[in-house]
């Protein structure tokens, strides 16, 4: 891999700030009896030990335990090797990993190692895991299970990016090394998208200056740009999935616990036992999406139309008292209703997705996200669509009819005297671009940050109070020691407690946000061509803000693999298509100032735009895939090289050489080195460079050793007794 | 492979009727000096011998030589093995062929063996071939080079199909075994397409009976059917390409002699030296297709429009003398002009394709065929399109203007009194379906057959006359022997001479014909729903007729591999799309009898049809690919099984087992058995069954042995001298 091995930041101090902890399980027992809690806790530790995991325990905030998990290095190496073998079997990688059943391998990146830890914690017992599923069934009292952040590396990346404009390929590799491919794909996407935004930004500024809004020149350029970007991204995605060796990774994902199958079939070719659920029945179930989408569109659309109509009514027709205040009423009502309606729709969507019965978690997530996207698109775009294609063109005809109660002071003098301001569309787009993006940023990143700090302060105050209380009570010396952090652990533990309270990072939400932005640009960009310039500036901040959120405000996500940005890609394609139609319609309607609009020429415009889209889309995708063919041929080349090498080994060296393993030659057991001096910037095979901070290192190793001594079961039971008792004593206080 | 080994037709007699000949080169020397001819001929034999090929020579029709080529069985086996290794390297097959450099392999099918022979004859000398390129450069006097038909197998297949309705998977495998995948894909296509035709045939008959033409019910069903068929075929194609192990076979094809490259680059990954021509420049050159298509469309379209206008003018406006005869004049003139215009366009197309500079012959053929398809579609569909969308709807408005010279007896009484008959579209469609298909069949299969027989008679008469003449002249006994066929060779040689005169089989033409038929159905089917019924009947005959043509009227094509029906697939997609629009337009225009047509509602109809097409196309392709996912997963399963097996061998048996070859176990050198008792219905590893016709076999082996004795060079030079001299004597006679 191309993690540049020669680039070593000065900050590359030994990273022992995580005390060798691989995974943390946050167990909460404030809702249940201590005896039940002890039983569950013992069972948890038992399951973890059975899966060959080492454990340690400390108390969390309130009535909760933090179970620290460490995978013995030899076991981890073996897991990494087994995972690679599986990759090779499923054709994800083309070079057979050298070794045999006892081989232990060095993880190439922290993410690879953490993925194996993740599997060891979550996979079913048949597959060798501990089957810890937070918030599910047996483990519904486990609030979360997560790896710890690598603070040094995160800070280093953020510091580096604050000084640069573009992310390099190495930066993306670093994100991949820290957070896995799924997250890295999002950053690669926002990076590509933002770089591409330069064209519409410049083009928009130029046409805006010389031609004003609604110019055909900008419209054509913008639509072509959108097509080129989407086709480029498709290829880029394949390129990255080859670079990161995750192409087709969906095939090897394990079956969900919830998967229901009709029969088990022995595959004729592979000899594996496959659990089969009729794809025909699954497709029939998926067809339920059509009524669901209709209902969702009707519900959300109805709400939006009513709000819109009320707003227009109040601002244009109603002239009674409090008009100035009442104008905001519809939006307020809408905002109040929206969460419960989307909540209802979401729960229907979840039930539908469950009913669709996907085999892997990946497929399940995709299906669920796709449904959420549909809903999100409706709420994001429908208001502006209504403004652009209903309110402004037909407002003069429709609005007078809204005056059903004849509230207007001069009733129905002449319906034609009502004038709609055509610049309303532009105003809305400007709002969305400037104000909207800033507000989003504040709401998404700044507000949670502030909230987090305040929450932390409150927690600190709370725990001090609790500490005083505990001190008052009679408890054994051993228990007391457990309830107060060791001085050298204290900083670490308070960080872990903060991370345990943090939100889970949802990469789909961030991707969706970018898709919505792309949608605004393609659908309505032509009414205010400067829109792309605003987005470009926003995205510089957005990328860093998202990384800040990911690394400081969220739990470190499990490094899941993926070979695409998921359903967003289809969303982008649909938006490009709709964008062409919408742009054509807006240019036709608004260019002449609503003067001569004829249905036939309007329809002809749309039809021509549609055909132009199809033709250009074909040309662009063909052209790009031809020009970038070398990227896509790389997979074939890799396979060829692998087979050629194998053939040479097999034929050249002939008998007795044995095993015919990797042509690059293996060297037996590899030393496992992970989290002792591994960095996202160093490839794992570099020898550790001699450094002068050995003393510091020894000291931190010491605390680490101390951290891992002691029996997790005993300590945990003591803490549960101590805190659980206190929980029973002061129910009201603890639940704050 | 699934060539059912237990099915053995009674006709499985020893197939020694080809005298062990693998390939025939037809060398003509009637245009050049005998001395030059001798030089070329000697060089030809030298090149063939250098490529380890055995040769024999006999005289052909007129001043020509038939050079018979036989590949020594051991050499052939080695070629077959090398070819399989190459397949494996390029990822076409997933199981490594067992063996080492000296392995000789048994060809699985006659086609596989013939493909290796084809490579040995045509590949460049660097690749180990003889580089014989008929009609090109050095070898422009070689009229053709071809393998001989397997008459028994052909007759057997034809006999079997005359009694059945549908071809089975085994029949397709048999075609593949005889003629290679490219031809087999065509037959698989016509087979799938004809089976699918049952639905529109029944649906059409029902709706025709109850609802008449232009019914929305039929229109919707027909459009959906077309989509389902195209999407089905895409999956079927992948399925077949996996079954026949040709998926992605385009990647390993050799570079064309004419390919021009800019630089040679050593591939970073594979280490191969790759010849690179900038894909960007190639794409720019390909963009020339746009002006070309415009010119072709304008030229052909203009010709068709003019013809059409003249025809209308004469039949509707002109009332002068000879009107009855003059009506045919435009069509006659059109037919006279068409060949020279298409000829011109074809030559432009060829130059364009050459300029586009494709690396492999496959890509070149595809690009050339695609251009021909565009031209063919224009000539096939434009006349009916004009009738449907210009003449009938606007005829009443346009036709009076055609009367520029005021030829009509009652001039411009009232333009509106001219009435266009709306049933003209229906009449045209009926003509195309019934008469057109029958005429095509006659022209394509019956006429060449009759012509062939007559030509054969003339040849026989001719050669008898020549024989008498030769006998008159003084010539050595040896030469005389060469000019007259041995009695036991005579039947064989006259068959070879007939095959040498036969046409080359062009599979693209047959595929194109089916695409045009599909186009008629989707574009205009709604005006006469019985159209599919006619096509269904026609195709039963067409399939057998095409196989008859292939096996009796054409040279056996080299068994080229391919993993698709080529550009026709894109043609089908475009036709499905256009078909939806056209169907919607026809139903809208013709259903109400041209009464109330409004531009806006017409455009709205088209737009709705377009969107319905996009939505349904998405639904159908998603649904089908989900339902048929198991078909597409097979490739992954095969790879998995291969790797799993390999891993077990490598890890389980460990050291000393050596070479880590195929998990299925190899058994050293395989016996080469080809054309001595190989049949398309038997897998090559079956032991020859003891049969009682050993005597017959011995006799034919005897003639075969005699056939291959004698020096090709000496014999050939003698024949050239004899016939060449006679050629100089009587130039006029020989050129007949």
pLDDT tens track for A156-194 = 888 888 888 888 888 888 888 888 889 999 999 999 999
Residues in chain A within 8 Å Cβ distance of B646: 96
Residues in chain B within 8 Å Cβ distance of A643: 88-89, 91, 96
% of chain A residues with pLDDT over 70 = 83
**From residue B212, how far is each of B209, B219, B529, B579, B655 by CA, in Å?**
6, 12, 8, 19, 77
Residues 255-274 of chain B whose Cβ lies under 8 A from any Cβ of chain A: 267, 269-272
Residue predicted with more confidence, A49 or B62: A49
| Closest-CA residue to A521 (of A580, A465, A447) | A580
Please count the CA atoms within 13 angstroms of the CA of B397 that sit on its side-chain side.
4
Residues 673-692 of chain B whose Cβ lies under 8 A from any Cβ of chain A: none
Q: How many CB atoms lie within 10 A of CB A691?
A: 12
User: Where are the alpha helices (H) located in B7-102, listed in sequence order?
Assistant: 34-50, 73-89
Q: How many CB atoms lie within 10 A of CB A658?
A: 16
Residues 644-663 of chain B whose Cβ lies under 8 A from any Cβ of chain A: 644, 646-647, 650-651, 654-661
Per-position b or e across B531-545, b if 16+ CB within 10 A of its CB: bbbbbbebbeebbbb
How high is the pLDDT of residue A578? 92
DSSP tag of A410: S
Q: Is B603 part of the contact surface with chain A (CB cutoff 8 Å)?
A: yes
Per-position b or e across B222-255, b if 16+ CB within 10 A of its CB: bbbbbbbbbbbbbbbbbbbbbbbbbbebbebbbe
Q: Which residues are B70's β-sheet partners? A: B54
DSSP tag of B252: G
Residues in chain A within 8 Å Cβ distance of B630: 279
Helix (H, G, I), strand (E, B) or coil at B427: helix
Q: How many CB atoms lie within 10 A of CB A472?
A: 8
User: Where are the alpha helices (H) located in A628-655, listed in sequence order?
Assistant: 629-648
Residues in chain B within 8 Å Cβ distance of A272: 640
pLDDT at A656 > cutoff 50: no
Point out the least confidently predicted range of A380-384, B30-34, B580-584, B616-620: B30-34
**Residue range A447-488, pLDDT digits in tens:** 878 887 888 788 778 777 766 666 665 555 656 666 777 777
CA dist B232 and B465 (Å) reads 58
Taking 3-state DSSP, the helix, strand and coil percentages for chain A, each rounded to the nearest 5, stand at 65, 5, 30
Whether the CB-CB separation of A498 and A456 falls below 8 Å is answered with: yes
Q: Is A248 part of the contact surface with chain B (CB cutoff 8 Å)?
A: yes
The position carrying tokens 């020669």 is A6
According to DSSP, the β-strands at A142-146 and A23-28 are antiparallel
Residues in chain B within 8 Å Cβ distance of A250: none
% of chain B residues with pLDDT over 70 = 83
Residues 6+ apart with CB under 8 A from B187: B167, B171, B172, B175, B543, B546, B547
Q: Is A618 part of the contact surface with chain B (CB cutoff 8 Å)?
A: no
Residue from the list A91, A282, A659 with its beta carbon closest to the beta carbon of B655: A659
**From residue B458, how far is each of B448, B452, B680, B733 by CA, in Å?**
15, 10, 35, 13
Name the residue in chain A with its Cα closest to that of B622.
A283
CA dist B478 and A475 (Å) reads 122
CA dist B12 and B689 (Å) reads 11
CA dist A312 and A330 (Å) reads 10
**Interface contact flag, A267 B637, Cβ < 8 Å:** yes
**Interface contact flag, A641 B269, Cβ < 8 Å:** yes
CA dist B17 and B153 (Å) reads 12
Per-position b or e across B683-695, b if 16+ CB within 10 A of its CB: bbeeeeeeeeeee
Residues in chain B within 8 Å Cβ distance of A271: 641, 644
Residues in chain B within 8 Å Cβ distance of A627: 279-280, 283
Supply the pTM of this predicted model.
0.82
Residue from the list B251, B282, B650 with its beta carbon closest to the beta carbon of A626: B282
**From residue B421, how far is each of A597, B387, B396, B418, B590 by CA, in Å?**
35, 11, 10, 10, 11
Name the residue in chain B with its Cα closest to that of A267.
B637
Torsion of CA A645, A650, A652, A656, to 10 degrees: 140
Question: Strands (DSSP E) along B140-243, which ranges?
Answer: 142-146
CA dist A205 and A532 (Å) reads 9
How high is the pLDDT of residue A202? 93
**Residue range B693-734, pLDDT digits in tens:** 556 666 667 777 777 777 777 777 777 777 765 444 444 333
First and final CA of chain B: distance in angstroms? 49
Q: Is B634 part of the contact surface with chain A (CB cutoff 8 Å)?
A: yes
With residue B202 as reference, give the H or E element that holds it: helix B181-211
How far apart are the CA of A39 and the nearest CA of chain B, in angstroms? 42
Under the phi-then-psi rule, with left for phi > 0, alpha for psi from -120 to 50, and beta for the rest, what region is B658?
A: left
Name the residue in chain B with its Cα closest to that of A659.
B650
Q: Of how many residues is chain B composed?
A: 736
**From residue B202, how far is each of A536, B218, B221 by CA, in Å?**
58, 10, 11
Q: Is A281 part of the contact surface with chain B (CB cutoff 8 Å)?
A: no
How far apart are the CA of B317 and the nearest CA of chain A, in angstroms? 33
Point out the least confidently predicted range of A288-302, A403-417, B550-564: A403-417
The position carrying tokens 């008998």 is A655
pLDDT at A222 > cutoff 70: yes
How far apart are the CA of A581 and the nearest CA of chain B, in angstroms? 11
Residue from the list A598, A607, A655 with its beta carbon closest to the beta carbon of B606: A607
pLDDT at A221 > cutoff 80: yes
CA dist A542 and A193 (Å) reads 12
Residue from the list B251, B270, B660 with its beta carbon closest to the beta carbon of A650: B660
Helix (H, G, I), strand (E, B) or coil at A292: helix
Under the phi-then-psi rule, with left for phi > 0, alpha for psi from -120 to 50, and beta for the rest, what region is B679?
A: beta
How far apart are the CA of B603 and the nearest CA of chain A, in angstroms? 6
DSSP tag of A557: P
How high is the pLDDT of residue B480? 63
Tokens for A663?
A: 């042509």
Tokens for A551?
A: 């690394």
The position carrying tokens 């020149």 is A217
Q: Is A668 part of the contact surface with chain B (CB cutoff 8 Å)?
A: no
Task: Choose the mutation target among B97, B632, B659, B668 for the interface with A, i.e. most A CBs under 10 Å.
Answer: B659
pLDDT at A1 > cutoff 60: no
Residues in chain A within 8 Å Cβ distance of B604: 603
How high is the pLDDT of residue B651? 62
pLDDT at A335 > cutoff 80: no
Residues 143-182 of chain B whose Cβ lies under 8 A from any Cβ of chain A: none
Residues in chain B within 8 Å Cβ distance of A651: 100-101, 659
pLDDT at A15 > cutoff 50: no
**Interface contact flag, A640 B89, Cβ < 8 Å:** yes
Residue from the list B286, B630, B659 with its beta carbon closest to the beta carbon of A655: B659
Residue A253: band (very low, low, confident or very high) from pLDDT cuts 50, 70, 90:
confident
How high is the pLDDT of residue A473? 58
% of chain B residues with pLDDT over 90 = 10
How many beta-carbon pairs under 8 angstroms link A with B? 139
How high is the pLDDT of residue B198? 93
**Residue range A404-462, pLDDT digits in tens:** 655 555 544 454 456 677 788 888 888 877 777 777 778 777 887 888 788 878 877 87
Residue from the list A279, A600, A660 with its beta carbon closest to the beta carbon of B650: A660
Q: Is B487 part of the contact surface with chain A (CB cutoff 8 Å)?
A: no
DSSP tag of B656: T
Name the residue in chain A with its Cα closest to that of B626.
A279
In degrees and rounded to multiples of 5, residue B205 shows phi and psi of -60, -45
How high is the pLDDT of residue B700? 67
CA dist B143 and A510 (Å) reads 66
Please count the CA atoms within 13 angstroms of the CA of A247 that sit on its side-chain side.
20
pLDDT at B18 > cutoff 90: no
CA dist A413 and B559 (Å) reads 84
Residues 321-340 of chain B whose Cβ lies under 8 A from any Cβ of chain A: none
How high is the pLDDT of residue A21? 83
Please count the CA atoms within 13 angstroms of the CA of A1 that sit on its side-chain side.
28
**Interface contact flag, B640 A270, Cβ < 8 Å:** yes
**Interface contact flag, A89 B603, Cβ < 8 Å:** no
Residues in chain B within 8 Å Cβ distance of A658: 654-658
Whether the CB-CB separation of B362 and B246 falls below 8 Å is answered with: no
**Interface contact flag, B661 A650, Cβ < 8 Å:** yes
C-alpha angle A152-A154-A156 in degrees, rounded to nearest 5: 70
In degrees and rounded to multiples of 5, residue B684 shows phi and psi of -65, -15
Residue predicted with more confidence, A428 or B473: A428
**Interface contact flag, B89 A634, Cβ < 8 Å:** no
**Interface contact flag, B639 A91, Cβ < 8 Å:** yes
Residues in chain A within 8 Å Cβ distance of B651: 100-101, 659
User: Where are the alpha helices (H) located in B568-707, listed in sequence order?
Assistant: 568-591, 599-627, 629-647, 694-707
**Interface contact flag, A654 B650, Cβ < 8 Å:** no
**Interface contact flag, B637 A248, Cβ < 8 Å:** no
CA dist A186 and A164 (Å) reads 19
Sign of the CA dihedral running A525, A531, A535, A538: negative
Name the residue in chain A with its Cα closest to that of B605.
A603
């Amino acid at each position: 891999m191309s993690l540049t091995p020669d680039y070593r930041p000065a900050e590359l101090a030994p990273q022992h700030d995580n005390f060798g902890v691989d995974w943390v399980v946050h167990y909460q027992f404030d809702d249940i009896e201590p005896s039940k809690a002890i039983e569950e806790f013992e069972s948890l530790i038992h399951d973890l030990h059975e899966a060959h995991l080492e454990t340690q325990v400390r108390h969390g905030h309130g009535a909760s335990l933090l179970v620290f998990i460490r995978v013995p290095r030899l076991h981890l190496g073996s897991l990494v090797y087994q995972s690679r073998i599986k990759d090779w079997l499923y054709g994800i990688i083309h070079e057979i990993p050298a070794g045999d059943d006892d081989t232990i391998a060095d993880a190439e990146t922290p993410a690879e190692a953490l993925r194996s830890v993740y599997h060891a914690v979550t996979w079913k017992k048949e597959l060798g895991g501990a089957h810890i599923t937070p918030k599910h069934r047996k483990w519904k009292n486990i609030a979360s299970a997560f790896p710890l952040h690598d603070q040094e590396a995160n800070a280093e990346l953020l510091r580096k990016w604050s000084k640069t404009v573009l992310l390099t390929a190495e930066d993306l590799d670093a994100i991949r090394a820290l957070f896995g491919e799924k997250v890295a794909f999002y950053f690669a996407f926002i990076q590509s998208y933002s770089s591409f935004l330069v064209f519409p930004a410049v083009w928009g500024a130029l046409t805006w200056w010389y031609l004003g809004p609604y110019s055909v020149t900008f419209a054509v350029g913008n639509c072509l740009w959108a097509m080129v970007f989407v086709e480029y991204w498709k290829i880029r995605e394949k390129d990255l999935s080859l670079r990161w060796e995750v192409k087709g990774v969906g095939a090897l994902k394990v079956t969900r616990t919830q998967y229901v199958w009709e029969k088990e079939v022995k595959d004729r070719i592979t000899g594996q036992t496959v659990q089969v659920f009729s794809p025909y029945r699954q497709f029939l179930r998926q067809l339920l999406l059509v009524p669901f989408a209709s209902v969702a569109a009707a519900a959300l659309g109805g709400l939006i139309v009513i709000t819109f109509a009320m707003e227009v009514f109040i601002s244009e027709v109603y002239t009674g008292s409090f008009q100035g205040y009442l104008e905001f009423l519809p939006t307020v009502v809408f905002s109040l209703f929206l969460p419960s309606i989307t909540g209802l729709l979401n729960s229907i969507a979840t039930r539908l997705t469950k009913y669709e019965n996907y085999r892997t978690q990946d497929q399940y997530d995709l299906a669920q996200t796709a449904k959420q996207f549909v809903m999100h698109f409706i709420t994001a775009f429908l208001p502006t669509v209504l403004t652009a294609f209903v309110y402004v063109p037909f407002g003069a005809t429709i609005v007078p009819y809204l005056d059903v109660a004849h509230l207007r002071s001069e009733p129905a003098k002449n319906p034609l005297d009502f004038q709609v301001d055509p610049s309303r569309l532009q105003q809305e787009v400007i709002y969305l671009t400037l104000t909207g993006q800033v507000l989003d940023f504040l709401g998404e990143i700044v507000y949670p940050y502030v909230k987090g700090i305040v929450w932390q302060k409150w927690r600190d105050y709370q725990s001090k109070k609790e500490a005083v209380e505990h001190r008052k009570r009679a408890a054994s010396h051993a228990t007391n020691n457990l309830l107060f952090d060791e001085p050298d652990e204290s900083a670490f533990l308070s960080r872990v407690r903060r991370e345990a309270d943090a939100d889970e990072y949802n990469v789909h939400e961030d991707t969706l946000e970018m898709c919505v932005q792309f949608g605004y640009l393609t659908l309505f960009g032509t009414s205010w061509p400067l829109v792309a310039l605003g987005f470009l500036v926003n995205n510089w901040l957005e990328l860093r803000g998202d990384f800040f959120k990911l690394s400081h405000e969220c739990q470190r996500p499990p490094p899941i693999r993926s070979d695409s940005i998921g359903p967003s890609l289809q969303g982008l394609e649909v938006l490009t298509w709709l964008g062409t139609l919408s742009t054509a319609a807006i240019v036709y309607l608004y260019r002449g100032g609503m003067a001569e609009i004829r249905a036939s020429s309007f329809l002809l415009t749309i039809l021509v735009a549609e055909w132009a889209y199809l033709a250009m889309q074909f040309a662009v995708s063909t052209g790009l895939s031809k020009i970038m063919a070398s990227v896509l041929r790389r997979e074939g080349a890799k396979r060829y090289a692998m087979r050629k090498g194998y053939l040479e080994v097999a034929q050249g060296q002939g008998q007795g050489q044995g095993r015919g393993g990797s042509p690059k030659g293996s060297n037996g057991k590899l030393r496992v080195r992970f989290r002792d001096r591994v960095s996202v910037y160093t490839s794992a095979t570099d020898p550790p460079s001699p450094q002068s901070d050995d003393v510091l290192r020894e000291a931190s190793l010491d605390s680490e050793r101390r951290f891992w001594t002691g029996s997790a079961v005993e300590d945990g039971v003591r803490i549960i007794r101590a805190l659980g008792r206190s929980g029973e004593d002061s129910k009201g206080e603890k639940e704050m």
